[in-house]
Amino acid sequence: MNAKTKLTAVDLFCGCGGLSLGLEQAGFVVKVGIELDPLAAQTYRVNHPGTVLIQSDIRRVAARRVKKACKLRSRGLSLLAGCPPCQGFSRIRRHSEDDPRNDLLFEFVRMTRVLRPKVVLLENVPGLVKDRRFSLFVARLESCGYLCKWDILNAADFGVPQRRKRLILIGSRVGSIDLPRRNCRRRTVRDCIGSLEEPGETKDRLHKMHLNCTARIEKLIRRIPVDGGSRVALGKRRQLDCHKKLDGFRDVYGRMKWDDVAPTLTGGCFNPSKGRFLHPEQNRPISMREAATIQTFPKSYRFPAKSGLVNIARLIGDALPPLFARRQAHHLATRLTCATH
């Protein structure tokens, strides 16, 4: 792609860089990223040295500062993308109308009004659609001249070996742009991590990182059937006391299944008490290399291992899978290239 057809992007709420990596893999040059969290920002800088990273609360970042940092010429910004913090809209947490993070959605609109990208791309949890802010957000984008389309897409339909449903919104001021359609077969847990050596046999620091369970929990894990088994198979007598009266959350202390996609990885993916995060056959929770691979981060992507298991799991689990981002971005790149010719 030559300089005349170069596609540019800004990544709001960039986290550790999953979205930016996908954009870059699709041919975009990510000019600026904005991120508040220090550890996520540190990880982003290491992996995206060519991007100007503004480490700050986005509410304190002037849109003109971002525009200046982009150093764009007459062609303008191709894409403004971002994943506003979604905890306030998550179905696995108690929804709070007063969560201050909910209103960060409108920072997206504020940046759009000044940067005037050709296209905007929003990613978030499906629960956002049911919040009153979403319809207001769309109305404000449309008032800025953007034709908006959105849907709930499953990352598993785009090559990510993980069941991960996300809201994807595309807003365009260069003509109507449909959302991408599923375009590949599903990849399984076996496809993804089946060839990895055991953590005790590796020099990979990230693969060595997994939760070391107590003897009591390890004994329980050994009794859970391999390849998709759950604690339900143990019967109530052998389950933990805290699980005996638990009607929901049946994936807790469950194993992944080799020939299926993985469950949605979260920031708690290191801990089997948070979901179906046990290895399909080895008697342990998944390692952080396995988590990163299921999220489609390449082995070359660097995470700060010294920050500890809990922090690494949060970075990985909170990220947008780069391959999912790449599929969306490639679709947009094709449409944008056509629109400029």
Positions marked catalytic: 86
Which residues, 6+ apart, have CB-to-CB distance to 17 below 8 Å? 33, 43, 44, 47, 48, 301, 319
Q: Residue 224 gets which letter from DSSP?
A: S
Which residues, 6+ apart, have CB-to-CB distance to 324 below 8 Å? 22, 155, 158, 159, 160, 164, 166, 296
Q: Check: CB of residue 322 under 8 Å from CB of residue 50.
A: no
Q: Which of 250, 319, 253 is nearest to 285 (CA)?
A: 253
**What b/e sequence results for 197-212 when a residue is b if at least 16 CB atoms lie within 10 Å of its CB, and e otherwise?**
eebeeeebebbebbbe
**Chain-centroid distance, C-alpha 248:** 25
Q: Which of 84, 76, 72 is nearest to 19 (CA)?
A: 84
CA distance 16 to 37: 9
CA distance 41 to 280: 33
- β-pair partners for 251: none
**What b/e sequence results for 10-34 when a residue is b if at least 16 CB atoms lie within 10 Å of its CB, and e otherwise?**
bbbbbbbbbbbbbbbbbbbebbbbb
Q: Which of 36, 4, 10 is nearest to 23 (CA)?
A: 10
Distances (CA, A) of 180 to 22, 119, 170: 15, 14, 10
